[in-house]
């Protein structure tokens, strides 16, 4: 098991080093007419996949009289995305709302990072492949929980929120010691195959659905919607105040493109599924993928929903210094997101 874990960590480290090398080769922060976007793995990034495939950002840029050059960078974990954004290697980051609150708090009075838009509402499942585990209360020191980044990813923050509800705020980080940072594709493979020290994965669609479909021992032991009090936008896009102020046409073209991508997915989920498969080189069963996209629990939209509670929890337990009191505290003003929560 130790060798298997070492192999996973080596592969993760190699991927991270490759991403950092690519970041170092990129130019400094882009001006109006250039847009560099960090994306990650999963159906939660389908809006970006559709926008890229259909060249929607470029389209809306032209309508505004602007020729926008768009680049996409694949990363894994909110920490890597945050580093890329602060270094000026990307203009828009995409990660969980937990990393957004961390960066919003850390950059207040400096880069002033805030949210740009939601990527939609998706339930995140903590899946275990041990039949005797039915809730997080059943996890032991022998269990290892795979998630994108220990302690700071949105999955980690939701797990902390659930732990606080079960054991009290003083023990909110109780399961951090059981957690390991593993990209979703590798974590899903470990849960499906079994036989590794990874016995649980706090993932996102479609990896969690693959685990449930392909391993008869896999079961959901925690649903993010239950922790957050209903449907929530757990994955978001964010940027620095400098980009927001200096690139207004690019910024608006990006939001318009995302909104069109959301309408595209709603109108033609079959085509959207094919775009996802092509963009990600995914081997997921297409029928299962369509089930995820069409799920009544899933909605693709740019307006954030039910995000404030996680930020207030993070402040309560001391994870961030500043308390968010309204969406306008941590999201940039825009009519498309103004009615969010």
Lowest-confidence pick of 27-36, 48-57, 107-116, 170-179: 27-36
Tokens of 87: 């270094």
Q: Is the pLDDT of residue 270 over 90?
A: yes
Tell me if 3 is assigned to some domain.
Answer: no
Tell me if 83 is assigned to some domain.
Answer: yes
Number of domains in the chain: 2
Tell me if 304 is assigned to some domain.
Answer: yes
Tell me if 1 is assigned to some domain.
Answer: no
204 and 193 housed in the same domain: yes
CATH code assigned at 31: 3.40.190.10
* pLDDT value for 11: 44
292 and 305 housed in the same domain: yes
320 and 216 housed in the same domain: no
Q: Which of 228, 244, 266 is the last residue of a domain?
A: 228
Tell me if 2 is assigned to some domain.
Answer: no
Under the banding of pLDDT at 50, 70 and 90, the label for residue 13 is very low
Q: Which of 177, 208, 228 is the last residue of a domain?
A: 228
Q: Which of 203, 228, 253 is the last residue of a domain?
A: 228
243 and 183 housed in the same domain: no
95 and 244 housed in the same domain: yes
Under the banding of pLDDT at 50, 70 and 90, the label for residue 14 is very low
pTM of the predicted protein model = 0.86
Domain with 209, as residue range(s), is: 123-228
């Amino acid at each position: 098991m130790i060798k298997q874990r070492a192999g996973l960590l080596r592969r993760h480290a190699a991927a991270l080093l490759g991403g950092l090398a690519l970041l170092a080769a990129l130019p400094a922060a882009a001006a109006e007419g250039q847009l560099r976007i960090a994306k990650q793995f999963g159906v939660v990034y389908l809006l970006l996949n559709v926008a890229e495939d259909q060249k929607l950002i470029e389209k809306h840029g032209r309508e505004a009289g602007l020729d926008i050059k768009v680049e996409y960078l694949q990363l894994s974990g909110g920490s890597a995305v945050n580093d890329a954004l602060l270094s000026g290697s990307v203009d828009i980051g995409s990660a969980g709302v937990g990393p957004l609150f961390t960066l919003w708090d850390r950059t207040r009075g400096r880069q002033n990072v805030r949210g740009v838009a939601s990527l939609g509402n998706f339930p995140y499942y903590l899946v275990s492949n041990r039949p005797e585990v039915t809730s997080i209360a059943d996890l032991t020191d022998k269990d290892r929980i795979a998630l994108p980044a220990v302690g700071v990813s949105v999955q980690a923050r939701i797990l902390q929120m659930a732990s606080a509800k079960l054991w009290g705020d003083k023990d909110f980080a109780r399961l951090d010691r059981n957690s390991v940072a593993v990209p979703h594709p590798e974590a899903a493979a470990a849960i499906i195959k079994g036989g590794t020290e990874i016995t649980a994965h706090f993932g996102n669609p479609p990896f969690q659905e693959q685990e449930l479909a392909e391993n008869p021992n896999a079961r959901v032991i925690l649903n993010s919607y239950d922790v957050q009090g209903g449907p929530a936008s757990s994955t978001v896009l964010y940027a620095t105040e400098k980009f927001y102020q200096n690139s207004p046409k690019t910024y608006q073209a990006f939001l318009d493109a995302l909104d069109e991508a959301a309408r595209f997915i709603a109108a033609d989920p079959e085509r959207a599924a094919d775009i996802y498969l092509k963009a990600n080189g995914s081997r997921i069963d297409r029928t299962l993928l369509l089930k995820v996209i069409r799920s009544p629990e899933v909605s693709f939209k740019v307006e954030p929903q039910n995000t404030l509670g996680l930020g207030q929890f993070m402040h309560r337990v001391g994870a961030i210094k500043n308390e968010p009191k309204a969406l306008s505290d941590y999201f940039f003003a825009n009519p498309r997101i103004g009615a969010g929560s």
